[in-house]
Amino acid sequence: IGISWMTVSIIGAMATGFVGIAYVAETKMSLPDAETIFIIFSQFLFHPLIGGFLLAAILAAIMSTISSQLLVSSSSLTEDFYKAFLRKDASDKELVFVGRMSVLAVSLVAIWLAWNPENTILSLVSNAWAGFGAAFGPVVILSLFWKRMNRNGALAGMLAGAITVLFWIYGPTFGGEHLSAYVYEIVPGFILSTLAIIIFSKFTAEPEQELQDKFVEMESVIDDYYHGDKKG
């Protein structure tokens, strides 16, 4: 059901863009910001009452997404970073304060990114997915298929992927363009993250034997499952 609904949503978004392109070309309309085409359609295709509901729906979707993302970011920074690495014995009051400061910091970064009029929603989302894919993609894949990967390798891979993506987007320019204009940043980020995981895992201590035994056990279960299906 989720995949089906996502397919319908993507088709609707693409249709809005294609219809918008055709409409702007046909009417010779001046459209300074192409990402406002949905709002423009809502205003002149529907009754003002319905158009108001559609615009309110956009704001509701934006606010619900922002609130959930801010809470997740705050929780991750507070529990997974501050408490895990900096202050393991931090009190609840201290963690609440750090969480609030994390929300403020993430909000300021988001405002800074959105302040540039040349940034589009598509480009920012594309950059975000590149960061996620490069930082966590190799870690997830290798953790499923390579028992030798350890904690140091995973951390090195995440850092290498994230730093590479940031460098590719905001680093030096060639011919007046950043590197991301030539090659999508997830490609070098994914490659360097994978190499960092392999190198650091090879040259540091192996994972605990208990984890390796668990990995072999799960491999055996999966292998038996698929071979059992073929025999059946």
37 domain residue, yes or no: yes
Same domain, 96 and 173: no
Residue 228: per-residue pLDDT: 64
Same domain, 224 and 125: yes
Domain boundary (75, 93, 118) is at: 118
Q: Tell me how far CA of residue 136 lies from CA of 2, 11, 47, 164, 196, in angstroms.
A: 23, 28, 46, 13, 12
Exposed e or buried b per residue across 129-146, where buried means at least 16 C-beta atoms within 10 angstroms of its C-beta: ebbebbbbbbbeebeeee
Q: Is 208 exposed, middle or buried (0-12, 13-18, 19+ CB in 10 A)?
A: exposed
> What residues contact residue 171 under an 8 Å CB cut-off, 6+ apart?
178, 179
Same domain, 20 and 38: yes
CA 225 – CA 217 distance, rounded (Å): 12
Residue range of the domain that includes 17:
1-45
Same domain, 143 and 78: no
Same domain, 152 and 100: no
Residue 141: per-residue pLDDT: 92
Residue 166: per-residue pLDDT: 92
**Number of helices followed by number of strands (H, E) in the chain:** 8, 2
Domain boundary (73, 103, 118) is at: 118
Spatial contact of 138 and 188, defined as CB atoms under 8 Å apart: no
pLDDT tens profile 39-73? 888 888 888 888 888 889 888 988 888 888 888 98
Domain boundary (100, 118, 136) is at: 118
Cα Rg of the chain, angstroms: 23
Same domain, 219 and 136: yes
Same domain, 132 and 216: yes
50 domain residue, yes or no: no
Residue type, 1: I
Q: Which residues of the chain have pLDDT under 70?
A: 228-232
Same domain, 93 and 114: yes
Same domain, 1 and 88: no
Residue type, 210: E
Same domain, 38 and 3: yes
Same domain, 218 and 134: yes
Residue 188: per-residue pLDDT: 93
59 domain residue, yes or no: yes
Same domain, 88 and 124: no
Q: Both tokens of residue 187? A: 């490609």
Residue 167: per-residue pLDDT: 93
Count of domains forming the chain: 3
